[in-house]
Amino acid sequence: MNKTDEQLVVEYFSDMSEAFDQLVSRYLKLIYNFLYGMSKDGEVADELTQETFLKVWKNLKKFQANKNFKVWIYAIARNVLIDWFRKKKNINFSQLDFSEDVLFEDTLIDTEPLPPEIFERQEIAEELKLALADISPDYRMIILLHDKEDLTFEEIAEITNKPMNTVKSQYRRGILALRRRFGL
């Protein structure tokens, strides 16, 4: 029987250090893929992944067992990423903290293919990577967390410290930006 993340955290504090190894192996690839998708640099993603797991290890005693571990670890990875972007100073992160009003066009029913269907098409995978690199980092983060990491909008709102409607709005705007890029 696979143990839950929360059970592994409890075991780690009961002098079962292999429990932390299981958490690392469970999330290593997911966190790396998320950080690579945002940074577009394998070396940077390696470095940020190591920093994320170091912070997880240092702060594990602060984890609240009634919380979702997956959301908690992605929030740490997001914060590590934001720190890296700030050091890089190529992106104005003050834009990430603004709440945005929902536009009428964001509430329309969409009949176009869903992003998970687009991700599965090998012939446009590389174009999609390039298109993702061109959109706003907050839109890219939400799209990657939702469509590649299968997180809910509620979990993403928790990770990004944004209201759920803002997350949904930014997701829709990011998808619209991608569609415009592909002429859809």
Give residue limits of the domains in the chain.
5-88, 100-182
Q: Does the structure show a pLDDT above 60 at 73?
A: yes
Does domain 5-88 correspond to CATH entry 1.10.1740.10?
yes
Q: Do domains 5-88 and 100-182 have the same CATH topology?
A: no
Residue pointed to by tokens 């700030």: 86
Q: How confident is the model at residue 114 (pLDDT cuts 50, 70, 90)?
A: low
For the chain, what is the largest distance between any 2 Cα atoms, rounded to a whole number of angstroms? 56
Please give the CATH number for the structural domain made up of 100-182: 1.10.10.10
**What percent of the chain clears pLDDT 70, i.e. is strictly above it?**
78
d(CA 62, CA 83) in angstroms, rounded, equals: 20
pLDDT at 163 over 90: yes
pLDDT digits (tens, 9 = 90+) for 87-99: 876 544 444 444 4
pLDDT digits (tens, 9 = 90+) for 129-155: 777 888 888 899 999 899 888 899 999
Task: Kindly report the pTM of this predicted structure.
Answer: 0.60
SS3 assignment, position 99: coil
